Amino acid sequence: MDLTQLAQTLKSGDRRSLARAITLVESGRADHRAQALQLLGTLGQDKQALRIGLSGTPGVGKSTFIESFGLMLTGQGLRVAVLAVDPSSARSGGSILGDKTRMERLSRDPLAFIRPSPSQAQMGGVARRTREAVALCEAAGFDVVLIETVGVGQSETVVAELCDLFILLLAPAGGDELQGVKRGIMEMADLILVNKADGDLKAAAMRTCADYAGALRLLRKRPQDPPGFPKAMTVSALEEAGLATAWAEMQALSEWRKQHGHWASRRAAQARHWFEEEVRRGLLAVLAHEPAKGILTQLGAEVAAGQATPEAAAARLLALLGKG
């Protein structure tokens, strides 16, 4: 593969090159990995998109929202990339392609790029692949990168470490729905959007929104937020209502964070986090192979037999790694 050419066409915004580059970073082959690292290294990080994480349980209207919201943005001339982060097991097989068919109009839009989640990826792999895919979308000049995830716990944490803004999409529901959202996820949210605020569901959506607005006020104030954030609002993805207001709030929040240095410090903290994750993964990989694996087994047996304390055995192993 001609990496120089790929880097050039990708930088010019060519979507097929972007798709090829993402396929490269997703590949498990060692030679592909080396090429992917080389490509990412040549692209640099001078372009920054607004990275928006979007989470919500199946059925709340994520695809409908992304389509309406994405089309609104492309209508303003913005280029929008959509990536999905999900361990494949979290979705029924069909919906991976379903992403594309459900966002049919957006996927036909020349200013948009939609990439469904790869199949059979482990969570660690998903994180790396998505992170690199985001970097590729930025290099390809996209203005907004939407990173979608289903609410299955672990994937939210990954997305929160990847995005500039984290949005939780909810559907209107009965009064006890509030307990259904984990506190940790509420704490990550910059904006809660209660979708389906239309027709018969409108009144319920307003109530749900008021409940969440109340719950958000009880959360600890974060230094990276201007007054009034995090916020809860109603939208209707179907009727395309409230989307412009939601976008205005997202822009206001990101502008404020840029002006106060929180944008840059968040990205810096994320970079450090992913560096440490990669080191951790690398160390675990070293431990899984010989000779470390054999030593690990042997020391484990010594510890189990009471011939060495866990601490002493661990120190011996770490000392050996340190020399390696």
CB contact at 8 A, 33 and 125: no
Closer residue to ligand GDP (CB): 233 or 238: 238
- Please report, as residue ranges, which positions from 101 to 120 form the binding site for ligand GDP (by CB under 6 A): 102
| Least spacing, CB of residue 182 vs ligand GDP, in Å | 17
Closer residue to ligand GDP (CB): 26 or 198: 198
94 binds ligand GDP (CB under 6 A): no
Q: Is the dihedral of CA 180, 188, 167, 52 positive or negative?
A: negative
Q: Enumerate residues 6+ apart whose C-beta is below 8 A from 141.
A: 11, 13, 47, 79
Provide the edge-to-edge strand list for the sheet that holds 80-84.
112-115, 80-84, 144-150, 50-56, 165-170, 191-194, 231-234
Q: Which residue is nearest to ligand GDP (CB)?
A: 61
25 binds ligand GDP (CB under 6 A): no
- Please report, as residue ranges, which positions from 53 to 82 form the binding site for ligand GDP (by CB under 6 A): 56, 58-64
Closer residue to ligand GDP (CB): 98 or 300: 98
Residue span binding ligand GDP (CB under 6 A) among the ranges 17-25, 52-60, 215-223, 266-274: 52-60
198 binds ligand GDP (CB under 6 A): yes
Site string for ligand GDP, 207-246 (x = CB under 6 A): -----------------------------xxx--------
CB contact at 8 A, 137 and 79: no
Longest CA–CA span in the chain (Å) reads 71
300 binds ligand GDP (CB under 6 A): no
Nearest to 226 by CA among 263, 186, 267: 263
Q: Taking the mean position of all CA atoms in its chain, how far away is CA 202?
A: 29
Closer residue to ligand GDP (CB): 170 or 299: 170
How many angstroms separate the CA atoms of 135 and 129, rounded?
10
| Least spacing, CB of residue 52 vs ligand GDP, in Å | 15
CB contact at 8 A, 197 and 205: yes
Closer residue to ligand GDP (CB): 78 or 238: 238
How many angstroms separate the CA atoms of 86 and 130, rounded?
10
149 binds ligand GDP (CB under 6 A): no
**Which runs of E-coded beta strand occur in the chain?**
50-56, 80-84, 112-115, 144-150, 165-170, 191-194, 231-234
Residue span binding ligand GDP (CB under 6 A) among the ranges 31-39, 51-59, 116-124, 249-257: 51-59
Binding residues (CB under 6 A) for ligand GDP: these are 56, 58-64, 102, 195-196, 198-199, 201, 236-238
